[in-house]
Each structure stands twice: as C-alpha cells, then as structure tokens.
Copies of this chain bind each other. A is one copy, B any other.
Amino acid sequence: MSPKHNFDIATELTKHSPGVYSGQTSEAYANMVGPFGGVIASTLLRAVLDHDERIGNPISLTINYAAPVANGNFNLFASPTRTNRSTQHWYIELTQNKEVVISGTAVTAKRRDTWSSTESLYPDVPSPEQIKPTPLDSAPPWAQNYEIRMIKGAPLALTPNDNPDSITLQWIRDYPDRNLDFLSLAAICDAFFPRIYVRRQEFVPIGTISLTIYFHANEQNLATNGNHSVLGHTRALKFFNGYFDQTGEIWSHDGTLLATTSQLVYYKE
C-alpha cells in the first residue's frame, strides 16, 4: 500500500457528529504566514463532501478568509442550509478558540445530461513535456507539493521583463502524482502566485479575502485527467486601493474546462 499523500493528510478530518469535525493544519502546506489557503478551501469542501446528508457533487464554492488560521487544531462545522431535489446549499465555518476564522458557502448538485458547450478557448500552449519544471526551492512549503511548469508569468522579481502584465499560464499537478478529484482541483484553483507579484517587481504583504470556484466537471472528467498536469490560466482585472481580483480557469490536460475561479486579494501599498 502506498503511503498517504500529503494532500490527503492535510485535508483529513475527524468526524464527531453530523457536520461537526476537527482537524489540524499541516506543516507540509505551510505558507508565509499560516497554512496555504487552497488546502484550507479543500478542507472546508471536504467537510461538505464527507457529510452523510450530502447530495450530488460540488458546483460552486465560496471561501471567506476572515482571519489568519493559526497553526494547530481547528474545528469545522458544515450544515445544509437548504436541500432541494437536485441541488443542496451549504454553510461552513472553521473556528479556532471559538472565533470564526474562515466561513464558506457551497452548492452541490446532481447534474443531468443536457445541451453543453464550452465557449472559452483552450489556450494555445506547449505540452507539459516541452516546459521545464519551475524551480520552487525558494517558494513557501506548500509549493513543494506541486510540480509547476510556467509557460508565462512567473513573479516579476524573479524574471524581470519590460512589458509586465499579470497573466500566468502554468501546467500544475500534485507532487508526488495524485489523481485529480474535486478537493485537489479546489486547491489548484488557489495555487497561483499572487497576481501582484507577477505584475510588480517587489513582494508586498498580501492575503486572499474571498475565493469563489465554479466546478464545470463531473467525476468522469476528473478521472479522465487522472494524474496528468492541468493547465491554469489567470490574470488580475484591477488593482485598486488595497484589493485586487484574480480571475482564472483550470483546464484538463486534454482541453476540458474543469473550473473557473475568482478571488479578491488584500495587498499592502
């Protein structure tokens, strides 16, 4: 039996009663301050997916980072606020010392086969094999759990150029390999370096305030991707007086749009 992946350890929860869990932050996914927000988002989503009353798969997730998560133990609470025939709405809270640190809402749904169409164009990029893995030795611990191959848009301080924008295109997968699921897809939606580091030549304090993910994939799409890299594409539309957005898409290795995502990020100066 292969050892558990760091990601599965980091998102592990102990269930005490329906919707009531405890967990602990993982050193493997530490960020500059506290844990990597993407794994926190996945942990909140896991509290929904592990709930006995859950119907369907995730279609929408919003995570609000209200305060820094302290390293150590936390409590998690997930409850269905409304259950319909094919959709279910969730409220989720992560608390430490009885204070709300993270709150979130999610929607799960049973999909039916319908007319479907992808309008967004799959970016014209080289395959992962044609791109060298990006050295991540100087990046925070969480990044060591990913293999990232940047096609465009590394932090500007590391790769100065004259015509900066905030666009990044990157191949990314869990390291070591792990088959894609809704949990790892959620974390990958947050596994871009902050847009302001790509746009500006200096590192300033930042922190995600709110993250939203729309899942456009079913379990079969995820299984088809397996442990291949997925393509992340992101950009900021506006930086304004302390807050910028980061808007992006995640594509499977073979061109299926798996998720669209946006977040609002605090920055200093």
B contact residues around A62 at 8 Å (CB): 62, 105, 210, 212
B contact residues around A236 at 8 Å (CB): 119
30 sampled A-B residue pairs with Cβ under 8 A: A60-B210, A62-B105, A64-B81, A64-B105, A66-B82, A66-B87, A67-B82, A82-B99, A86-B242, A87-B209, A89-B103, A105-B105, A107-B210, A109-B209, A109-B242, A109-B243, A111-B243, A114-B242, A114-B268, A116-B241, A118-B239, A119-B166, A119-B199, A119-B236, A119-B239, A214-B262, A216-B237, A247-B247, A260-B262, A262-B262
Given contacts A119-B165, A264-B107, contact A113 B241 (CB under 8 A): yes
Interface centre among A104, A115, A212 (most CB of B within 10 A): A115
B contact residues around A17 at 8 Å (CB): none
A62 CA to B106 CA, complexed, in Å: 11
A100 CA to B107 CA, complexed, in Å: 14
Q: How large is the interface on A (under 10, 10 to 19, 20 to 34, 35 or more residues)?
A: 35 or more
Interface centre among A81, A103, A113, A257 (most CB of B within 10 A): A81
User: Which residue from B81, B112, B120 sits with its C-beta under 8 Å from A241?
Assistant: B112
Contacting pair A118 B237 (CB below 8 A): yes
**Per-position binary interface string of chain A over residues 207-242, scored 1 when its CB falls under 8 Å from any chain B CB and 0 otherwise:** 001101010111000000000000000011111111
A267 CA to B112 CA, complexed, in Å: 10
B contact residues around A67 at 8 Å (CB): 82, 84
B contact residues around A82 at 8 Å (CB): 66-67, 99-101, 103
Contacting pair B239 A117 (CB below 8 A): yes
Contacting pair A103 B81 (CB below 8 A): yes
B contact residues around A99 at 8 Å (CB): 82
User: Which residue from B214, B217, B235 sits with its C-beta under 8 Å from A119?
Assistant: B235
B contact residues around A81 at 8 Å (CB): 64, 66, 93, 100, 103
